[in-house]
Structure 1
Amino acid sequence: MTPLSEQQRLFLVESTQIYAPWVQARQHLASYKYGMKWVTSKEREYLYRVHDAVGNAKSLGPRSPETESVYQSFIDGRLRAKERASGLDDRMKIQARLNKAVNLGRLPMVVSEILQAVDLSKAREDFRIVCAHAIYAYESMAGVHLKMELLASGDVDLLYDPRKKLSLVAKNLNGNGLLGLLRKVDSTFEVVEHEAFRAVNKTGFMVDLIMPTRDMRHPEKVAFAVGDLAAVEVPNLQWLGAVGAGCV
């Protein structure tokens, strides 16, 4: 175990301070994702707010000074959100280069990208990291670097708390399941045949979906979409599920 240098500690603090507003800015921008549009029906124009990629939308009323104001506020808000997110993206890239220069960013890229995808999604409170890669978080909290052999791992375990409402988590994943989220990071992720709890990408990196053992009265499969990963029960994880939510 090696304590972080003063320079590393400084960059760690700066990274932590930047990350929270960056996530907030990306989530705020995502709220504008599907947009608004004017639709003509029976010779009248109506303002619709689109809610998903399929095009499902809700009418906000016929064209009027009020709906035109709503539309313009949406357009202006989206522009401000893009500018803020872009500025923070640039700042994050600079900080990443600084961290790399002082050997601070040691988390494998694929794990980092998966964590970012989860963190930026509506499902950020539904999963937590419980495998060897969680040690990186404890490194950060303690301000130290541990021996690399303790951190070597070719997979990451995502813990799901089965007490959470399955349909709500599925909705948080936009109906595409956990596999859909992983494919935003790497399109080559596929569920392993006969091991539905595991997805593997082209480099052989594995993501396992695990959960605490359940009562025998709950035999149903836990998956968030058709063809998605299906959680496997692992003994003695109840205390982890009770600790809280988020990626550790």
Structure 2
Amino acid sequence: MSYKRSDFVPFSADSGRVGANLEAAYEQWLDAQQQLATLPVSMYWQRKASGDYLAVKQRSSDPGTTLGPRSDATEARFAEFTQRKAELKQRIADADALIGDRAAQYRALRLPPIPDRQAEILRALDVAELLRNDLLVVGTNAFIAYSLLCNARFPAGVEETEDFDLAWCRGSAVSLARTNAGAPQRSSLMSVLQGVDPTFRLNRKKPYQAVNANHYEVELLMAPSLAPLPKGEAFEPMVSLTEQEWLLEGRPLSVVVATLRQRACPLYVPDPRWMALHKLWLAGKPERNALKKPKDRRQGEVLLSACRYFLADTYPLDIDFVLELPAELRDLFDAWARAGGFDPTRPTA
């Protein structure tokens, strides 16, 4: 089916301003966190028989490395480290307070939030510079970003979910890193997950999935063209899912949303047009779980309709877009267009 414009409920006129302010506060927080992450975990004086020595730990698990005996130079280095770390922690605290205020405004406008469990992981991925460079968010959580982009509540598609899917994108046109899939990376996905929750382990029966002690699942999907993953990644995503290639087309979208507990969370999601058709294709995939198919179809139809009514300038469903589609997706688009009386040669009519 094709949804009507009246099926979408516009957000408040203030929603764009509130969302932009939340994003600005989050970027301040992210910048300070990323700078803090480049500092050693600790620097301290270690007493030895011959006197005090300056020691440093790059990570909490490190045994510590000696930088030299106490001297004007090592005291200056220790003072510089202590001051820099204190400054960054204060910047983070200030940004956290600002985020809390702006997230409260966001929630007051009844804009769509994201659960805090997903948000904590996504923030950690962003600090580690994996989100946007190596990974993008796919699945139901992405629909929060699309709803905000359209400045309207969807009639369906933003249902809350208790787990989420990530797609590998490094080496593709939608990665901000623009490097090949085998390039070295700072952290692995599993190391970030275990930094958030040490109980995360790879599901040996489904090596594309990590599960924690509470049975919370994080899945990593991968397009065949990007295989294999870099060395050091524990995940083994299936590389036979040709449909994942479609989520690497077009122009991805980056937004910041509030969480249920009034924090901020980044989302980096695929082009809404390609996501919509991807969902419609999944709804007809024979191997797809039959219980998921109605939701897939509903989400695809809602998102295509949202592109039609709200994103004609930024994500047009025009003839140029249609000609880019592979045959299996073009048939789905044509069926949707016929059902809704939509003509891609006159997309704004």
Q: When the two structures are superposed, what TM-score results if normalisation uses the length of structure 2?
A: 0.58
1:103 alignment partner AA: R
Superposition deviation, residue 187 in structure 1: 5.1
1:200 alignment partner AA: V
Moved more, 136-145 or 75-84: 136-145
Pair 73,152 (structure 1): closer, same or farther in 2 beyond 3 Å: closer
1:128 aligns with 2:169: no
Superposition deviation, residue 101 in structure 1: 2.0
**Residue 168 (structure 1) aligned to one of 165, 184, 199:** 184
**Residue 92 (structure 2) aligned to one of 85, 95, 100:** 85
SS of residue paired to 1:103: coil
Moved more, 141-150 or 127-136: 141-150
1:97 aligns with 2:97: no
Q: What is the alpha-carbon distance in structure 2 between the residues aligned to residue 9 and residue 135 of structure 1?
A: 17
Superposition deviation, residue 36 in structure 1: 1.7
Q: What is the alpha-carbon distance in structure 1 between the residues aligned to residue 29 and residue 13 of structure 2?
A: 24
1:157/1:209 contact within 8 Å kept? yes
Structure 2 stretches lacking a partner, 5+ long: 1-7, 172-179, 255-267, 270-349
Superposition deviation, residue 44 in structure 1: 5.7
Q: What is the alpha-carbon distance in structure 1 between the residues aligned to residue 129 and residue 204 of structure 2?
A: 28
Q: When the two structures are superposed, what TM-score results if normalisation uses the length of structure 1?
A: 0.77
% identical aligned pairs: 23
1:7 aligns with 2:14: yes
Pair 221,6 (structure 1): closer, same or farther in 2 beyond 3 Å: closer
1:168 alignment partner AA: P
Pair 244,35 (structure 1): closer, same or farther in 2 beyond 3 Å: farther
Pair 151,70 (structure 1): closer, same or farther in 2 beyond 3 Å: same
Superposition deviation, residue 40 in structure 1: 5.8
Q: What is the alpha-carbon distance in structure 2 between the residues aligned to residue 47 and residue 131 of structure 1?
A: 49
Match in the other structure for 1:209 = 220
Give CA-to-partner distance per residue, 1:103-152, whole Å, 9 cap, x none: 11422332222211211224332211122322222222332222344545
**Residue 204 (structure 2) aligned to one of 186, 193, 211:** 193
Structure 1 stretches lacking a partner, 5+ long: none
2:181/2:229 contact within 8 Å kept? no
- Structure with max Cα Rg: 2
SS of residue paired to 2:141: helix
Give CA-to-partner distance per residue, 1:33-53, whole Å, 9 cap, x none: 512233467836543432222
SS of residue paired to 2:39: coil
Q: What is the alpha-carbon distance in structure 1 between the residues aligned to residue 245 and residue 48 of structure 2?
A: 54
Moved more, 98-107 or 65-74: 98-107
Q: What is the alpha-carbon distance in structure 2 between the residues aligned to residue 34 and residue 152 of structure 1?
A: 36
Give CA-to-partner distance per residue, 1:156-197, whole Å, 9 cap, x none: 22112465465833xx22xxx433422444555443331111
